[in-house]
Structure 1
Amino acid sequence: MAPSTTVADLPPSSTTDSFNSSAAAEENDIRPFFVLHKASSGSKSTATVKAKRRIESPSPKLAKRSEIESAGEEKGGQFFSTLRFKVFETVWSKIDNTIQGVLRDSNSKVFCGIHDWIWESFESIRSSEALSLSEAVRSYPVLSQPSSKQLFTALVLTRNLEMVDDLSTFEDLGSHLKSQGCHVAKLSSTDFSAKNGVGGCLRGLLRQFVMPTVDVADVTILASWYRESGNDKNPVVVIVDDTERCSGSVLSELILILSEWAVKVPVFIITGVSTAHDAPRKILSASALQRLCATRFTLSSPAERMDAVLEAVFLKPCSGFTVSHKVALCMRSYFLCQDGTLTSFVKTLKIACLQHFSLEPLSIMLEHFCQDNQLPGEGTALLTEATMKHAFDLPSVTRNKITRSTCEMLPQFLLDLQRMPNPWSIVVLCIYEAGKFDKLRLLDIFCETLDPEARYLKYFSPPAILNSQSNVSGRTSVIRRVLRKLRDLSPAQLSSLLKSWEKLTAEFSEINDKVMELHPFMRTVEAAGQRPGIPTSPKKHASRSHSKLEKELKAMTDKVSTVIEFMLREYMKPVETVPFHEILCFKNVDKLQSALLGDPRGRIQSDLLESHNILHCMCCSQRGTTLLPSMHDTSILYTLAQEHAEVINLHDWYQSFKTILSPRNSKAKTTLKSKKRKDRCEEPEAPAEASIQARFCRAVMELQIAGLIRMPSKRRPDFVQRVAFST
């Protein structure tokens, strides 16, 4: 971007202003995030310093607030924009750590099982036969048993349609085995290509085990490294993350080679399969399959991991951030459309969190929800007069007719907002425990319970369950399915449900008391089912006992339904019904959808037409609709293209572009300015014709690469065609 003025065009007061600007810039250098912002004038900074000096012995909270307010006024909201971004990093860091912890816990049992299997197999190999160094490096040592050619292989079923989630899983598995002393090498499906052959696989193993500079595919190097360096006390593990995408012939050849050295170098192969455990039968040759001694392991399904992440992030104390009903439905739809990958859901969640902090000024208060030792009310010290006014103008506040009589009301509302999710999340988890018997997912229950317009008493009262056929949002209600499933539960299932409810409601006495009242009825049902029969009339007594059990079971089901109705009526209050929920709840579903789907071509067009809003240069910020030579060539050319229809004449387009870069009266103005201002620098000369043509060609090429125009054809070589039109 060319400068708008030269040194010769500075006003007479430029010396004083530049001195004040440099002084203000030196003061702003104390805070690194002020460097890129426009420096304030000297008068404002002086007045601010005097105002601070007039305050005598303020309280720490008031002093901190006055400093933040003055900084926010000087920087025009830039301070709070930077603060919101820092709070976003804090909140997302806690969410991301929570998600990673959940994934580690879900895979820890399988990882420990694989580790135990490796060491048990390794000990059996070491006890069978011990080789000296000279025997180990021979090409083909004599094998005493046919089983010595067997390779211990772990078939890990991931049950994912896409490998994007499995990549991190196998990375964590490799790190876990390395921490336990194993020698681990990881090979991807690209290493098993027909182009590289088995030599590429061997070189990849040697570079990870021996040294990165090895360029020879020789198994004896691996055997020498394993025996000479004292590495024979630990097993060698080779991880293949996606077996089904590997070349079958290359993988089979590698298995045959490693099996010949199984006694000398005990290699354990871990293969990842996504469809079924017998997937290697369709890939490997018969001779390679005979060399494998396979053991099966199964990871948790994507839906199970999704439910665990959802429970940890939204239903348990985490960061305070949450989403609205419409946003949750959008995230659910995106999760299902992306083949159910957890990576897509985490990506959507991060975008929603970032959009919330960029749109909501009061989102800075979420930092105090992440800190258990601070009350949310302490965050009000960061609020200015403008943000306080914004807080009491929120739709949830005006809808509940809350007036700003005193600022002390806000901390109490924030404290209630922090405590609110606890009973609501307990009710959601109780419904989820009952929905497990009907194979319901927590994501579906979570989306439905967030609906602020749901009328649970009208739709889900026990008398209306049998004959109710209405739908919610065009589909059968999840909660109604839970209540209907209760009628089909056995006494053992009901007993298990009550035990899980008792654990979930242990810290909430109001619901726990209702659950404890069901235990006497449960004991009656169990006694009716275990009553001994009469020897003289077994059939008649069995029929009478069965009817007695059905009667007791129906009464028990009605009691459980009543407890669910009580929980829905008293504690099922979605976050969107609470005042000030906009502070922690993201609701703009349109922003989320546009960020997920994207519109790159439309974004390019708007950026080219309004480049001054992005570059923030002084020469173009006040131009209005006038095109200036200091603008970017591509932006000038695309703005000129708006004057044409679908077809643009290249000659006319070039002449308009040339007029912008070299105005006709530029020479006259240059002569007058050079005579009047001899002591100042001269203006830059107009560009030459060849330079203008080169810049024009480059700008046209950039528009073609961006997909906005189509180059001339043989039939019409003097015209280009517009492909996209700005709206």
Structure 2
Amino acid sequence: MSPSVTPDSPPSPSKSENSETNLQPFFVLHKALPRKSEGKASGSRKTRRKIDLSPTLLKSNDKSDSDNHLYEQLRIEAFDLVWSNIETTIKGVLRRINVDLFNEIYSWVCESFSATKSTGTLGIYDVKRSYPVVINSICKQIFTALILTKNVEFVDDLLTFEELGIHLKSHGCHVANISSLDFSVKNGVGGCLRSLLRQTVAITPDVVDISILAAWYSEPDNYDKPVVVIIDDIERCSGIVLAEFIMMLSEWVIKIPIILVIGVATTVDAPRKVLPSSALEHLEPRQFTLGSPIERMDAIVEDVLVKPTSGFNVGYKVAAFLRNYFLKHDGTVSAFIRALKIACMKHFSMEILSFLAKGTFNEDSQGFWSDKCKLLPEVMLKYAFDLPSCQRLIAEKVGDNLAHGLSEVKKLRKNWSSVVMCLYEAGKFHRMQLLDILCEALDPDFCNLEASDYLLTVGKDITLPSSADHGLHDGECSGLTKGRFILQAVQTVRDLPVALLLQLLKLWEKHTVGIDEVIQKVKELQSVLTFEDHDKTIEPEGLRMRGRPMSRHQLTMEKCTSSVNEKAALLVEFMIRNYLTPLECAPFHEIVCFKHVDILQSALIGDPRRTIQVDLLKSHTYLCCSCCNKGGSILLPSMHDTSIMYNLAQEHGDLINLHDWYQSFRATVLSSCTKTKHKLQRSPMSKKRKPANAVANVFEASIQARFCRAVTELQITGLLRMPSKRRPDFLQRVAFGL
């Protein structure tokens, strides 16, 4: 806050002598007001009620503050651990998705490098010459990979091209990642060439010249390796600059075997729209395609939100909101990841016991939670057992019961994950998205119904939700489409042929490890299908080729196959009924599950002007200072100047009289000085203290400076409009109400 100046105190001689050299610190946050016992004059003998500062009370307050600080630090550490694990998982997922494509691109780079070298062999003298070598017109061709990214936002592709560069470097290639922003008219061809030299030669010369790159490549350590230049998005480049860059490289392609890798966000004919024909004739293109955003999203959701290894979970409404947020942003994976990180951050900042989520990473989770819960204070244990999910829980409020409850949550979460993956494997045959199945599986209203209530409709007309359903608020499904993705997955199991059903059962066996009852039934179905498949293979082919009617044995086998499909569908229904219990139905789930969709929506969409107004009107609640809190709604001089000004502005309409506003501010700031002056007048030493005119003038100037600074800050935040020439004594308010 602004430093306070007391006009009644005489200037010190030592300070006046060294006023130019003695620099006083400027306090951004104000100091607390002095205690009344300290400000009381020595001659006053009026007794006052003393504040209880007994050692017992001080120790209890200190202990409470230290505990709060300790648990806050534990929550921060838990968030760092959980999010670093999620971030590492996401990077690994994206790398795993693209590894096959990266290997294919590397093989093509090797073939292109060999083809470039085969056009002409240079001697050592030709290599060291500082000008290009051209043998024929074919030598000017640059092998170019056009990678179709299928993304509207190129932000998703930045990590992909970065990983591609790392992959090619690990295989011995020279790689330079040049941003499309470098290919601008402002930077010219020198900007992209400077970036190329910085990443290869590791220098940034004052005058850029491609001959520097040729000299670097002629060195023995760098020679005989392809130079790959990666450009993330051709459609964001300036066509003129990129064309000049390509034509310059084509002159040096024999001495510097450069291979281009260019990202294309829309269609394969995008280079024709950006580049002129003179540059296109120097490119030898090859087309590659990245995985779609939907494929990436399903892989991220599987490893982060479905598998019980991340330590962070979301509720039904939050998951539905994340799905709609992804769809509304044209399938931008980066937008989804940003929203997920904000949700994770909000959870660990709001939930007091969220630091216990670290136990999910521990092999002995039960032991970890038992040790932690035994050390919890009684207040936190009471808070845990008063959670909404524990209202019907009859248990003693002790740490062991809390640890047992968290272990049950982890077990329930693992079984739920297994069933969701089984449904997704079945839904893949109809190209279902995992995020849609996830939202339905998290819905406590849908999964709390009896299985017969929603599985009776399987034999009826089942249609997938339309695209209009994706636009519903918070991702809520309408009554006609609620639960349709799970029903469709169950119906798919009934219609699968034997070969695909066998393949599906193998995947179910992998996903249901740890659920012995389900694995036993899966193995029984596998044995039946294997036996029937064996019978079909030993049947003579001639009986089926002559068009003869099916024998009784064949009819029996067909009936057995359909009965096995029905048994597999019944197995899915059994898993749904017994193991697809949403996390929101378990006690203590609030500790590891984020459900506040309104807070997430507010953080993503935001209302910055309203937030600024609330912060200014209630600044003392955020600064947590005792001197400002005790005033309540009364303005105190110790408050921040901008906060005082904006509170005073509430007394005016859309126009604020500048003079009246200043006088109100001045009266608020001087209120503490007036009280001090009255006290000093009653003191025996008050006759010796007389304010100097010089000090009063300096103090008045400081108030005016503080007033001007506060007005400027309100203008910068967009809450005020400065005076016009027509009415220079009035300011206009821009924002009204909250």
Aligning the two structures, in what range does the TM-score lie when normalised by the shorter sequence? 0.7 to 0.9
Q: Call closer, same or farther: CA 1:546–1:299 in 2, change over 3 Å.
A: farther
Establish whether residue 495 from structure 1 lines up as the match of residue 488 from structure 2: no
Contact 1:325 1:452 in 2 (8 A): yes
Establish whether residue 519 from structure 1 lines up as the match of residue 519 from structure 2: no
What's the CA shift for 1:585?
A: 1.1
Contact 2:82 2:358 in 1 (8 A): yes
Q: Call closer, same or farther: CA 1:258–1:547 in 2, change over 3 Å.
A: farther
Q: Deviations over 1:484-531 (max 9, x none)?
A: 334543333323222222222244321112222223553476478765
Establish whether residue 669 from structure 1 lines up as the match of residue 678 from structure 2: yes
Give the 5 Å matches for 1:595-606. Answer: 595-606=603-614
Distance 2:636 2:587 in 1: 50
Contact 2:33 2:638 in 1 (8 A): no
Match of 2:394 in 1: 402
Match of 1:357 in 2: 348
What's the CA shift for 1:145?
A: 4.9
Contact 1:606 1:726 in 2 (8 A): no
Match of 2:451 in 1: 457
What's the CA shift for 1:205?
A: 1.9
Contact 1:185 1:238 in 2 (8 A): yes
Give the 5 Å matches for 1:470-549. Answer: 473-474=478-479, 475=481, 477-523=484-530, 526=533, 532=540, 538-541=546-549
AA of the residue aligned to 1:624 = G
Distance 1:168 1:398 in 2: 46
3-state SS of paired residue (1:658): helix
What's the CA shift for 1:577?
A: 1.2
What's the CA shift for 1:193?
A: 1.5
AA of the residue aligned to 1:702 = E
Between 305-314 and 551-560, the greater mean CA deviation after superposition? 551-560
Q: Deviations over 1:10-30 (max 9, x none)?
A: 26999xxxxxxxxxxxxxxxx
What's the CA shift for 1:312?
A: 1.3
Indicate which of 214, 225, 247 corresponds to 1:223: 214
Q: Deviations over 1:300-349 (max 9, x none)?
A: 22221211122112332423321111111122122222222222222222
Distance 2:682 2:202 in 1: 70
Contact 2:680 2:686 in 1 (8 A): no
3-state SS of paired residue (1:269): strand
Contact 1:6 1:681 in 2 (8 A): no
Distance 1:341 1:721 in 2: 41
3-state SS of paired residue (1:420): helix
Match of 1:43 in 2: 55
Contact 2:458 2:491 in 1 (8 A): no
Distance 2:387 2:594 in 1: 13
Q: Call closer, same or farther: CA 1:91–1:532 in 2, change over 3 Å.
A: same
Contact 1:153 1:295 in 2 (8 A): yes
Indicate which of 388, 391, 406 corresponds to 1:414: 406
Kindly tell me the number of residue pairs found equivalent between the two proteins: 680
Match of 1:636 in 2: 644
Contact 1:8 1:682 in 2 (8 A): no
Contact 1:674 1:682 in 2 (8 A): no
Distance 1:499 1:419 in 2: 23
Give the 5 Å matches for 1:320-359. Answer: 320-359=311-350
Q: Call closer, same or farther: CA 1:468–1:253 in 2, change over 3 Å.
A: closer
Contact 2:635 2:644 in 1 (8 A): yes
What's the CA shift for 1:686?
A: 7.7
Segments of structure 1 that go 5 or more residues without pairing to the other structure are 15-39, 49-69
Distance 1:681 1:577 in 2: 73
Distance 2:463 2:171 in 1: 57
Distance 1:694 1:634 in 2: 12
Give the 5 Å matches for 1:241-280. Answer: 241-280=232-271
Q: Call closer, same or farther: CA 1:214–1:545 in 2, change over 3 Å.
A: farther
Q: Deviations over 1:684-719 (max 9, x none)?
A: 858644443333233222212212123334554433
What's the CA shift for 1:8?
A: 10
Establish whether residue 165 from structure 1 lines up as the match of residue 193 from structure 2: no
Q: Call closer, same or farther: CA 1:537–1:114 in 2, change over 3 Å.
A: closer
Q: Call closer, same or farther: CA 1:464–1:443 in 2, change over 3 Å.
A: closer
Distance 1:535 1:656 in 2: 104
Distance 1:318 1:13 in 2: 66
Q: Call closer, same or farther: CA 1:585–1:128 in 2, change over 3 Å.
A: same
Match of 1:391 in 2: 384
TM-score by length of 1: 0.85
Contact 1:240 1:271 in 2 (8 A): yes
Match of 1:94 in 2: 85
AA of the residue aligned to 1:457 = A
Contact 1:650 1:720 in 2 (8 A): yes
3-state SS of paired residue (1:186): strand
AA of the residue aligned to 1:517 = E
Between 472-481 and 604-613, the greater mean CA deviation after superposition? 472-481
3-state SS of paired residue (1:238): strand
Q: Call closer, same or farther: CA 1:504–1:412 in 2, change over 3 Å.
A: same
Establish whether residue 655 from structure 1 lines up as the match of residue 663 from structure 2: yes
Q: Call closer, same or farther: CA 1:649–1:488 in 2, change over 3 Å.
A: same
Contact 1:324 1:575 in 2 (8 A): yes
Contact 1:72 1:79 in 2 (8 A): no
Contact 2:177 2:230 in 1 (8 A): yes
What's the CA shift for 1:649?
A: 2.4
Contact 1:186 1:240 in 2 (8 A): yes
Distance 2:93 2:354 in 1: 26
Q: Which has the higher contact order (CA 8 A, sep 6+)?
A: 2
3-state SS of paired residue (2:576): helix
Match of 1:723 in 2: 734
Indicate which of 699, 703, 706 corresponds to 2:714: 703
Between 273-282 and 328-337, the greater mean CA deviation after superposition? 273-282
Indicate which of 38, 58, 77 corresponds to 1:10: 38
What's the CA shift for 1:655?
A: 2.0
Q: Deviations over 1:401-446 (max 9, x none)?
A: 3231654323222222222222211110000001111111111111
What's the CA shift for 1:107?
A: 2.1
Match of 2:654 in 1: 646
Contact 1:88 1:354 in 2 (8 A): yes
Q: Deviations over 1:121-141 (max 9, x none)?
A: 334444554323431354666
3-state SS of paired residue (2:630): coil
Q: Deviations over 1:201-234 (max 9, x none)?
A: 2233223323433132422222112113641132
Q: Call closer, same or farther: CA 1:527–1:636 in 2, change over 3 Å.
A: same
Distance 2:218 2:121 in 1: 11
Q: Deviations over 1:450-506 (max 9, x none)?
A: 111112613443575325789853435211122333454333332322222222224
What's the CA shift for 1:276?
A: 2.9
Establish whether residue 282 from structure 1 lines up as the match of residue 276 from structure 2: no
Match of 2:579 in 1: 571
Indicate which of 131, 142, 145 corresponds to 1:151: 142
Contact 1:465 1:480 in 2 (8 A): no
Distance 1:158 1:528 in 2: 47
What's the CA shift for 1:379?
A: 2.0
AA of the residue aligned to 1:43 = P
AA of the residue aligned to 1:198 = V
What's the CA shift for 1:294?
A: 2.4
Q: Call closer, same or farther: CA 1:219–1:364 in 2, change over 3 Å.
A: closer
Q: Name the Cα RMSD after superposition.
A: 3.5
TM-score by length of 2: 0.83
3-state SS of paired residue (1:83): helix
Establish whether residue 368 from structure 1 lines up as the match of residue 359 from structure 2: yes
Match of 2:618 in 1: 610
Match of 1:382 in 2: 375
Between 623-632 and 378-387, the greater mean CA deviation after superposition? 623-632
Match of 2:418 in 1: 426
Between 113-122 and 153-162, the greater mean CA deviation after superposition? 113-122
Q: Deviations over 1:580-635 (max 9, x none)?
A: 11121112222211111112111111111112222333442322232233322211
Match of 1:175 in 2: 166
Distance 1:603 1:107 in 2: 42
Match of 2:428 in 1: 436
AA of the residue aligned to 1:203 = R
Segments of structure 2 that go 5 or more residues without pairing to the other structure are 4-30, 43-51, 466-476
Contact 2:228 2:258 in 1 (8 A): yes
Distance 1:600 1:148 in 2: 58
